[in-house]
Structure 1
Amino acid sequence: MLVSPMLVIGLAAAADLLMPHWQFNRLLGAAPALAAAMWPVAGTLAIGLLALLTAIALSTAHHQLGHTPSVFTLLAILAITLAAAYASRVRQHRERVLAAVRTVADTAQQVLRPPIPRQLGCVDVEVLYQAAAAHARIGGDFYEARRTEYGVRMIIGDVRGNGLPAVEAASVMLTSFRVHVRNAPDLPYLAGRLETSMREYCEEVPGDDVLERFITVLLVEIPAGEPIARLVNCGHPAPLLLHEGDVREVEPSAPSPPINMAALLGDHYQVDTVPFTVGDRLLLYTDGVSESRDFTGTFYPLAQRVRRWVSAGPRQLLDHLHHDVLAYVSGSRDDDLAALVAHRVGPGDRRHRRRP
């Protein structure tokens, strides 16, 4: 509260007048110290001056002005005021720097993860993202969805590690996906192009951890004319299929290598096909969701929790999931959190549905 420094002065003055032997006037120095946390430099100095004048008035009222304790109290308030003014100046400088950093982060967010259209042909899409770092807007989890002649194609991925290297690797993946998604004849070809892009990036930006730079990716294709969804899972957590009131994990029938691991594990990408009719939903997510832990170290029971919200709409499902994960986790999270819901709709559904 901006008025709290003045409230401190008022309470200290009243207490000192009522109980002069307790010397509550010494608490007046707390006012400028408190003002430094919320007021600009000029305001902090004004609060300090007010505290100093109040201390002089109290000393005069008690006939102690000029006595050693009174002089010491006045000098202490003056010193605290000057220190508080300097602290206020430092705080304001840091706030300006933080505001500039947030502006850059917001711009990078728009480039790296621009808003996905809610309606892509026969599919409605809703997304959720939260970086692990406090006040961060971007991280190593990423997603994208595009409409192509082959249907709606989506990607969700998680870069190993964190920080700026993870953000840069995520940008490489998203750029490659956007370049090749429309012309790739199938998902294995698209996965191969992602592998090539990441390998070339690692060659251009060498380092001791090149072999450890890998990315788990899930690719999804939902053709408009077929009630199915095709998936290529490159080491990513298995998505959840919400079909006719049931929730099940869509595990890959055969493993596909994470991106940048084809040289070690081979470049075979397995395509799995699942029924995906009108009303069905696919929940894609990163391990920031599935590997969240409570205070006992137990993983978040994602499938079990999602069954509670099986009848919720895509946006409501993600909102429930977000709040539930935050409530489940003990302490602060140490991983990014990203999720995407793809909901297949029919032509009649879109005509009568209202968007929030």
Structure 2
Amino acid sequence: MTRSGEGRTRPGVLPSGVCLLPLLLLVVGIVLDMGTPRDVSAAACFTAAPIVAAPLLSLRGTVLVGLAACAADLAVLAHFGLLTDRGAYSDWVSILTMAALAVFLNRLLHRRDMRLRSVSGIAAAVQRAVLPQPPPRIGTRRIAARYEAAQADAQLGGDLYAVQDTPYGVRCLIGDVRGKGMGAVEAVTVVLGAFREAAQHEPTLTGLAARIDQSLMRESALRDGIDQVEDFTTAVLAEIPRPGDRVRLINRGHPAPLLLLEGTVRTLEPARPALPLGLAMLAPDPGRTDTVAFPPGASLLLYTDGLTEARDPSGTFYDPADRLTGQCPRSPDELLAAVVADVRRHTRGQVTDDMALLALTRLMPTGRAPGPTGSGP
């Protein structure tokens, strides 16, 4: 009667106390039968115990509960001197039947769980292949990325990020493709593939954006109906050229990045709005490149709209610029951990959209992380 071992069907989903419910039913049944007249039967408790055990316990636990239920009913019959009464065994036969059915249900649930584990493992492997973790450090920049799915078991979605060290500096991409499901995943692979190939060869961010545009338009041409028009991706392309004292940005219809430095937060709005990637046929403009200073100790936070559209129970949207003001994260990992924890507090754990986060922190000249000792979110 343990949750550990082979055959466990709902690992990590239910509180441990719930697994004591079959035992509680057995105890209640015995107490009721022993403490009430002989014409009052608590066989329903003995019948329910193995059925309740089937989705909660392992195979061995379910079998033990079934045997315990049969033995408890026999003990009650012996207590009232009914072991020789054939009519009294009808309840016992019902309990035995339910115990056998419980074992059968336990096996069905176990097989379903194994299939779900396999699918989840494949999805996790695909996610690692599509969205690999960036290197923790490139030159004087420390890097961290997080993908927070709205559903606990979800692994894949339409949010994306990428970081690449190129001859032109460190180049980053964060984006959100239109739609959900496998169509969104296909678009993610197209955008990331185009970025990874073009980032090494295109000398400018505008050229890089144009290459991704072309890839998305080729993909869109293979689709029919409204998808041919609305297959687009909002994105921010960032480039930190050597020696790393500035950041170049192209914003294609995406939430503006944030620059954090010594407790202040600056929203890096684009000087000129541009359409999302994949809509170049409507306005063939790769976007304007904006350049901002990136001093030592500063952190650049890029994110998808799952962050800014997170709402508390009253409907108030999460404002990352306001919530992060006054905080001095010492590393990009610390920054992202603080953001994720704060979003969960803001939404009371009711997150409704996937969220991708990418942070880069420029180290101090000494190589230390920014912020005084002991400071942090």
1:349 matched residue in structure 2: 367
Match for 2:160: what amino acid? F
User: Which structure: greater helix fraction?
Assistant: 1
Task: Measure the CA separation in 2 of the matches of 1:66 and 1:254.
Answer: 92
Deviations 1:90-147 (A, max 9, x none): 2111101101101111110111011210101121111111122330122111101111
**Does the 8 A contact of 1:40 with 1:89 survive in 2?**
no
Of 62, 73, 81, the residue aligned with 2:99 is 81
Task: Measure the CA separation in 2 of the matches of 1:290 and 1:351.
Answer: 27
Q: CA deviation at 1:16?
A: 2.6
For residue 37 of structure 1, give the secondary structure of its aligned residue in structure 2: helix
1:221 matched residue in structure 2: 239
Q: Structure 2 matches for 1:124-203, cutoff 5 A?
A: 124-203=142-221
2:280 matched residue in structure 1: 262
**Does the 8 A contact of 1:121 with 1:224 survive in 2?**
no
Match for 1:198: what amino acid? L
Gap regions ≥5 residues in structure 2: 3-18, 372-377
**Does the 8 A contact of 1:279 with 1:345 survive in 2?**
yes
Of 3, 17, 31, the residue aligned with 2:34 is 17
Q: CA deviation at 1:13?
A: 2.2
Task: Measure the CA separation in 1 of the matches of 2:289 and 2:258.
Answer: 16
**Does the 8 A contact of 2:256 with 2:267 survive in 1?**
yes
Shift in alpha-carbon separation, 1:11–1:351, aligned structure 2, 3 A: closer
Deviations 1:141-196 (A, max 9, x none): 11011111211110000011111111111111111111111111110000001111
Deviations 1:62-99 (A, max 9, x none): 12346688434223312322332222122111101101
| TM-score for the superposition, normalised by structure 1 | 0.91
Q: Quick one: percent identity of the two aligned structures? A: 37
Report which stretch shifted further, 76-85 or 253-262: 76-85
2:268 matched residue in structure 1: 250
Report which stretch shifted further, 70-79 or 183-192: 70-79
**Does the 8 A contact of 1:121 with 1:147 survive in 2?**
no
RMSD between superposed Cα atoms in Å: 2.5
Task: Measure the CA separation in 2 of the matches of 1:352 and 1:274.
Answer: 19
Q: CA deviation at 1:8?
A: 3.6
Report which stretch shifted further, 162-171 or 23-32: 23-32
**Does the 8 A contact of 1:141 with 1:170 survive in 2?**
yes
Q: Does residue 115 of the first structure (1) align with residue 140 of the second (2)?
A: no
Task: Measure the CA separation in 2 of the matches of 1:344 and 1:175.
Answer: 27
Q: Does residue 35 of the first structure (1) align with residue 56 of the second (2)?
A: no
For residue 147 of structure 1, give the secondary structure of its aligned residue in structure 2: strand
1:300 matched residue in structure 2: 318
Shift in alpha-carbon separation, 1:195–1:18, aligned structure 2, 3 A: same
**Does the 8 A contact of 2:55 with 2:109 survive in 1?**
yes
Q: CA deviation at 1:42?
A: 5.5
Q: CA deviation at 1:267?
A: 2.2
